[in-house]
């Protein structure tokens, strides 16, 4: 699969995790593809941590250079949406008013630790709102490639600085859907393009295979 097809596959599967009416924060990059694949009966209220509730689909007609999302990209707002300052925005996040967040990650551990803000020695733009999101939102979904340059990203223990500990609920990659459970990380769905042995080999963490394992849809 080429890179774009992989991203679309992951985004399509993430879209099935979200419920109609959910207030959802989408990280930059791959997570921004998710709304494209929502079922017709599901409408989300998208939140951007720089101070928007009701981020809408950007078109040539509604493009406004004064409106950007948290990644600095042009954004639009739906009818009934609103703007507010960063204090209010992070009060919404920390107060538990966002139902789900979808973010990328550099590493995830088998007990739900996430590293996604820094690689020591490399320049960074800043930690953004990730630390607040993964601490203030109950349903934390990681959407990412299963490996990086052939190296596993799902580990027994993270080697990069943590963004937060024990917060991730679900990990969705091009290889499958994994849930963080008290007993460890459980593979519940697999991409039939890969064998179970290939998925296990690409995962450093101890991968528990669900008794109800099914193909990834």
How big is the chain, counted in residues? 217
- Is 49 annotated as catalytic? yes
- Residue among 160, 206, 144 at smallest CA distance from 180: 206
The answer to whether 191 and 5 have CB atoms below 8 angstroms apart is no
Phi-psi region of 166 (alpha: psi -120 to 50; beta: other; left: phi over 0): left
Which residues contact residue 209 at a Cβ distance below 8 angstroms, ignoring those fewer than 6 apart? 186, 187, 196
Write down the catalytic residue from 8, 40, 49, 174: 49
Helices and strands in the chain: count of H runs, count of E runs: 4, 15
CA triplet 26, 210, 200: central angle to 5 degrees?
75
Tokens found for residue 85: 């300052």
Residues annotated as part of the active site: 49
């Amino acid at each position: 699969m080429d890179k774009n097809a992989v991203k679309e596959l992951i985004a399509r599967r993430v879209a099935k995790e979200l419920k109609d009416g959910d207030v959802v924060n989408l990280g930059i990059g791959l997570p921004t593809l998710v709304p494209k694949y929502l079922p017709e009966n599901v409408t989300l209220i998208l939140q951007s941590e720089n101070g928007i509730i009701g981020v809408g689909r950007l078109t040539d007609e509604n493009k406004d250079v004064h409106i950007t999302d948290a990644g600095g990209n042009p954004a639009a707002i739906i009818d009934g949406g609103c703007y507010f300052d960063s204090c209010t925005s992070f009060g919404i996040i920390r107060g538990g008013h966002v139902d789900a967040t979808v973010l990328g990650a550099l590493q995830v551990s088998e007990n739900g630790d996430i590293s996604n803000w820094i690689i020591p020695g490399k320049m960074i733009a800043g930690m953004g709102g990730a630390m607040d999101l993964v601490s203030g939102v109950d349903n934390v979904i990681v959407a990412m490639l299963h490996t990086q340059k052939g190296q596993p990203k799902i580990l027994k223990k993270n080697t990069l600085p943590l963004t937060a500990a024990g917060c991730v609920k679900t990990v969705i990659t091009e290889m499958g859907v994994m849930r963080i459970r008290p007993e460890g990380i459980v593979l519940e769905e697999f991409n039939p393009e890969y064998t179970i042995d290939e998925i296990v080999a690409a995962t450093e963490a101890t991968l528990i295979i669900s008794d109800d394992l099914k193909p990834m849809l």
